[in-house]
Amino acid sequence: MHERADRLLAGLVTLDDEVEREFEQRLVESATLAFRVAFGVLRHHEDAEDVAQDALAKAHRNFHQLRDRERFRGWLVRMTWRMALDRQRANRRRASRETIVDADDAPASDPDVVSRERATRLWDAIDGLPEKLRLVVILAGIEGHNIREVAALLDVPEGTVKSRLFAARNELRAQLSWMATRTR
């Protein structure tokens, strides 16, 4: 009787060890991706790390529920995205962001200032996109993901990613048209 219990317990321990090893492997592969997704929403280093850490901890807690482990990255990306949006809403009034600078601090002729102003405007325009378009734009900008990889991460057809990306770029182009008139 005790031997059976010991064998059963040993089997459970072995199973836990295997799950832990597999999660460790996924963690090494996907930690940076989770951080960048969170950073794409928050653009705040510490906040992005906090959110990515929360997302990875949640993924660890629910790792056994994930039947297809090959979809871990997409699962983690969507989870991180939602948590980052929640954090962004909570920190909506946060004053200091790392990349935000006041465009009037320096003369527009300074190339660095122009570049930073351009980046600020671009991210403001991205923040104004609908969530689905915004997520596609950010994922396409992370780690050089192509359309197929973005489709796999979001678990949607490639055509959907293409149309969303096209719509997002049109929207951004319309919002940033002032740059062309100003730089001429």
Partner 1 sequence: MDGHKDTLTDEAMAREIESALTVEPSPQFVAKVRARVAREPLRAANAGSWRLWLGGAAVMAGAVAVFVWIGAPPATSTRGAAPSSAALATGSEAAAVPNEPAQPAVAPRGVAPAPAPTPIRRPLRRERARLEPSAAQTNEVALPRVLIPENEKRGFELLVTELRDREHAKVVAEATRDLITPGPPWLEIAPVIVEPLQDVGIAQGEGQ
Interface positions with partner 1 (CB under 8 A): 12, 15-16, 19-20, 23-24, 27-28, 31-32, 35-36, 39-40, 43, 45, 48-49, 52-53, 56-57, 60-64, 99, 114, 118-119, 122-123, 126, 137-138, 140-142, 144, 169, 172-173, 176-177, 179-180, 183-184
CB of 10 to partner 1, least distance (A): 13
Residue number with CB closer to partner 1 (103 or 176): 176
In one-letter notation, the amino acid at residue 14 is: T
Which residue, 37, 65, 40, 72, is CA-closest to 52?
Answer: 37
Using CA atoms, how far apart are residues 116 and 100, in angstroms rounded to an integer?
Answer: 8
Which residue, 33, 15, 3, 32, is CA-closest to 149?
Answer: 33
In degrees, rounded to 5, the angle at the alpha carbon of residue 77 between the alpha carbons of residues 73 and 83 is: 145
CB of 169 to partner 1, least distance (A): 5
Which residue, 64, 50, 90, 77, is CA-closest to 12?
Answer: 64
CB of 36 to partner 1, least distance (A): 5
CB of 3 to partner 1, least distance (A): 20
